[in-house]
Amino acid sequence: MLYEISVEFNKETFEISENKIIIGIKSRPIKGEANKEIIKKLAKYFGVSTSKIQIKTGHKSKTKIIEIQH
């Protein structure tokens, strides 16, 4: 399943509507730390391992396309 992710920094947001997710994170976008936090939060929410979540596009952007394998 593909989801469009919008990232908000310094917030604790998590909203889902259809295929769009708004997620708030505390990590800074340095050396992939923000992406790691996003993957961990999504894995916890969907009840899958982090290896089942892959960032398809937007590695360095606030808008990403993420694939989650159930």
What one-character DSSP code corresponds to residue 19?
T
52 has pLDDT over 90: yes
- 3 state SS of 2: strand
Per-residue confidence at 58, pLDDT binned at 50, 70, 90?
very high
Going by CATH, does the domain composed of 2-68 fall within 3.30.1200.10? yes
Per-residue confidence at 39, pLDDT binned at 50, 70, 90?
very high
What one-character DSSP code corresponds to residue 22?
E
Q: What is the pTM of this model?
A: 0.92
Give the position of tokens 């469009």.
4
- % of the chain surpassing 70 pLDDT: 100
For 14-37, what is each residue's pLDDT tens digit? 999 999 999 999 998 899 999 999
Residues 45, 41: Cα–Cα separation, whole Å: 6
